[in-house]
Amino acid sequence: MGRVHLEALRRVEGVDVVAIAGRELASAQRLGAGYGIEKFESDYRKILSDPSIDAVHICTPNALHFSMTKDALLAGKHILCEKPLSTSIETAEELVNLANNRHLRNCVCHNLRYYPMVQQMRRMREDGDLGRILMVQGNYLQDWLLDEAAWNWRIDSDAGGQLRTMGDIGTHWFDMAEHVTGLRVRSLCADLETFYPTRQRPAKNVQASIAQLAAAPAAAGEHVTVATEDFGAVVFQMDAGARGTMTACQMAAGRKNQLRMEIFGTKASVGWNQERPDELWVGHRDSANNIYIKDPGLMKEKARSYADLPCGHSEGYDDTFKQVFRRFYASIGQPGSPAEYPQLVDGLRHMLLMDAQLKSHRTRQWVDVKAL
C-alpha cells in the first residue's frame, strides 16, 4: 500500500511527500526513487521527530498500526492509518482518545467508500429515492489464498489480528454498508471457517505481498497451523428494522476483488460491484430496471465531487485513495471543519463488529455489537 498511497498523494493538491520509512533503507529508497523525496529512514521515529512534517501515513501490517499511530500522535502528527485500525478494542480505544485529546486529524483508510457510484448510492438513499431500507446483502470475495502454499503475514494472527478475512476485507464491506445506508449494525450471528487448518510457510521468512504471490507463488515450506479464517458469513440486524447478510472469502476461485452490495428499500433497490465500478444497477418493481454508467452530469449533485472525469472514462481503485486523501489534507488546512472521511472512531467500531463476530462464532449465538 505504500506505493498506492505514494502515487495517490502525487495527485493531491498542496501535499508534498518528503520522507519514507521502511524496514530496510534500500527498499524505502527503491520505493521513493524518482519521486523527489528528500529523506529515507529505516527507523520511522526519525521521521516523527522532524518538526517540518505535518502528517504521516501508516501502511504497515496490522499489528504495527497501534504502536506507529500512537507514536505519531504523541509526536503531534496528523495520521492516516490503513485498515483495520488495530488488533484489539483496547488499543483502538486508546488511539481514538489520544487523537481526540490532541485535536489531531485522523483517518482510517476505508477508501472503497469513495467510488463515484458508491457515493451515488449514498446520496440516493439520503434523498429518499430508496424509501425505507429493508435489506442489505452482498459479499467480498477474493481468490489469492486459494493455493495452500500461498503465504502472507495476514495468515499469521500475530501480524494481522485474530480475524483475517473479516478484518482484511469484511471491514471494508461493513464500512460501506453502514456508510451508504446511514444505519448501524446492532446485532449479528457469524459463522467462520478455516478451510486449510495448516499452510506452508516459506522456509525463508518471505512475507510476500498480494502482487508478489500472484507473480510467483511461495516455494513449499514448513507446515504451520492457521488460526485465522478463510471464510466468514454474517447475518445481521441494523437500525430501523433493516436486515442483512454478507459473505467474505479469500479462496473463491475467479473472484479477484468482488465487493458486491445490494440495498433494497421500500421504493427501489440499488446494486454495485467493485469489479465493474462505473456501473450502478437500480431496481424497480413497477417499471424497468436501470443501469447507470458513471456520468457526473447524471449523478446527484452531492456525489459529483467524487467523479473527476467525464462520462466514459472509468474511475477506479486508485482514484478512491485520491478522494480520501484530498479530504483529509483539506481538513488539516481548515481546523474545526467536519471530517468527510472515515476516522479512527470508525476503525474502533469495526473492531467492535469483529469482536462480536468472533464471539458469535465461538458461542454459536447471536451477539449484540457494543455501542460507542
Rounded CA-CA distance 197/108 in Å is 31
Rounded CA-CA distance 232/118 in Å is 23
308 CA to centre of own chain = 21
- What is the Cβ-side half-sphere exposure of residue 245, based on CA atoms within 13 angstroms? 2
Minimum Å gap between C-beta 66 and ligand NAD is 11
Minimum Å gap between C-beta 214 and ligand NAD is 12
Minimum Å gap between C-beta 312 and ligand NAD is 25
Pick the closer one to ligand NAD by CB: 109 or 233.
109
Pick the closer one to ligand NAD by CB: 59 or 268.
59
Minimum Å gap between C-beta 58 and ligand NAD is 8
Q: Is the peptide bond before 217 cis (omega within 30 degrees of 0)?
A: no
Rounded CA-CA distance 180/109 in Å is 16
What SS3 state is found at 340?
coil
Pick the closer one to ligand NAD by CB: 207 or 305.
207
Residues near ligand NAD, by CB under 6 A:
1-2, 21-23, 44, 59-62, 64, 82-83, 109, 111, 153, 168, 207, 209-210
Minimum Å gap between C-beta 242 and ligand NAD is 26
Beta bridge partners of 139: 247, 260
Pick the closer one to ligand NAD by CB: 44 or 306.
44
Pick the closer one to ligand NAD by CB: 83 or 322.
83
- Reading the block at residue 143, the C-alpha cell is 481468490
By the 10 Å C-beta count (0-12 exposed, 13-18 middle, 19+ buried), 221 is classed as: middle
Is the CB of residue 318 less than 8 Å from the CB of residue 7?
Answer: yes
CB atoms within 10 A of CB 102: 14
Minimum Å gap between C-beta 111 and ligand NAD is 5
Pick the closer one to ligand NAD by CB: 325 or 329.
325
Minimum Å gap between C-beta 209 and ligand NAD is 3
Rounded CA-CA distance 233/162 in Å is 16
C-alpha dihedral, 39 to 45 to 46 to 49, nearest 10°: 110
Is the CB of residue 333 less than 8 Å from the CB of residue 152?
Answer: no
Pick the closer one to ligand NAD by CB: 64 or 339.
64
Minimum Å gap between C-beta 241 and ligand NAD is 31
Is the CB of residue 48 less than 8 Å from the CB of residue 56?
Answer: yes
Pick the closer one to ligand NAD by CB: 101 or 205.
205
C-alpha dihedral, 302 to 104 to 71 to 58, nearest 10°: 10
